[in-house]
Amino acid sequence: MQDADRAEAWTAVEDYLTVTLVGEDQAQVSARESADREGLPAIEVSAPQGKLLMLLAKLTGARKVLEIGTLGGYSTIWLARGVSDGGEVVSCEYEPHHAEVARRNLEAAGVADKVSIRVGAALETLPSLAAGNDGPFDLVFIDADKENNRNYVEWALRLTRPGSLIVVDNVVRSGQVLAEGGDGSTVDRDIRGTRDALALLGSDERLDATAIQTVGGKGWDGFALALVK
């Protein structure tokens, strides 16, 4: 099978699974469409992965969820629908325009009352969350600038408790996670950040982790999942 045919098949299967199992509703479709109209990059999670985030929140009985990287609020909607009654999603977003688009999408989806968007660099917001005793969080979803993935995982460890889950998106990156320079350093800062995060997930005794490769409309990628012990 040629690469183009393989990608077309991946997308077709994803579409079938989305219709058959996921049940993406009009508010979620509209969130993706509005983000596109507003010029946001089309890097939100797929519908099946969004549904997985919702199910993880439900399975853990999550009342407090931390999301690092709001974008247009698509994944935020899934997470907000997964938190238990009285629960909250705190979502960190660097770009003010992205945050405004997300707020409108969350309002349209009927979950704005469950979400607090903190605008600014996450590495400045996360210490304030710790200082303000906003945690511990039951689930942390990391999907922001990949260069800082290790830093985000380290903060997630400070802001969680035993039994919490940490999910890190985009850890395969079409296989580029294997790329290294001749001196053993990675060529790309995002790849280096991803590798450093995976190394931490795999070596820190406080965590029990795995990673899953995925294929679909967004190509070949994957996510890591870690349990705080």
Q: What is the domain count for the chain?
A: 1
Taking only the tens place, the pLDDT of each residue in 26-43 is 999 999 999 999 999 999
Domain hosting 185: range is: 3-228
Taking only the tens place, the pLDDT of each residue in 101-154 is 999 999 999 999 999 999 999 999 999 999 988 889 999 999 999 999 999 999
The predicted pLDDT at position 210 comes to 98
The predicted pLDDT at position 1 comes to 66
CATH code assigned at 208:
3.40.50.150
Phi, psi (deg, nearest 5) at residue 21:
-115, -35
Amino acid in position 32? R
Tokens at 130, concatenated: 């710790």
Task: Identify the residue whose tokens are 């296989």.
Answer: 175
Q: What is the DSSP letter of 20?
A: I
Amino acid in position 36? D
